[in-house]
Amino acid sequence: MRILVIILAALLLLVLGGGGYAWYAKLGPFAAASATEAASAAPAPPPPPPEHFVTLDKLVVMLRADGPQTRARYLAVDLVFATDDKKKAARAKAQLPLLRSVAHRSLAGYHAGEIRQMELDELVGMLEAEYTKVYGSAEERPFSQVMIARMMLE
């Protein structure tokens, strides 16, 4: 009888040890629970960076005068349009005259002081909003992002 109790205790200890190991190692039925926890806890990976770029060089804009006695101020900007694939890059390249016109029209309404006070991200946001307005939606634009490569205010 005593040997039976020792065997049952050892068997119980072995089963509990195996279950504890499975829980700790996330094996068997514990693996599914940990996989759903890991999927919900892990943040989504960032989108891949754009692979193609189209440049709009040497956009020179005459800004609005601050008063009748002030000299003319010019803004020289190089824009870069990021696209996801070659097809969109070709479409953006074909539409460079439209992209130039929209940027020129948008920037020509500002005074030099206003441009000087704007952050670069504000300027990019304003340009993206104007392009979205022209194309109807962000998905219809032939590019995913506008970047300013160079900017000079004279």
Give the separation between CA 132 and CA 151, rounded to whole angstroms.
Answer: 22
Residues 128, 58: one domain? yes
Number of domains in the chain: 2
Give the separation between CA 39 and CA 140, rounded to whole angstroms.
Answer: 32
What confidence tier does 96 reach under pLDDT thresholds 50, 70, 90? very high
* Phi (first) and psi of residue 68, to 5 degrees: -70, -25
Residues 10, 60: one domain? no
Give kind and range of the element (H or E) at residue 146: strand 145-153
Q: Is residue 129 part of a domain?
A: yes
Residues 80, 147: one domain? yes
Predicted TM-score of the model (pTM) = 0.65
Give the separation between CA 113 and CA 105, rounded to whole angstroms.
Answer: 18
Residues 69, 35: one domain? no
Return the structure tokens found at 7: 């065997």
pLDDT of residue 19: 74
Residues comprising the chain, all counted = 154
Residues 61, 96: one domain? yes
Residues 100, 63: one domain? yes
Query: The domain spanning residue 109 has which CATH number?
Result: 3.30.479.30
pLDDT of residue 18: 74
CB 93 within 8 A of CB 54: yes
Q: Is residue 47 part of a domain?
A: no
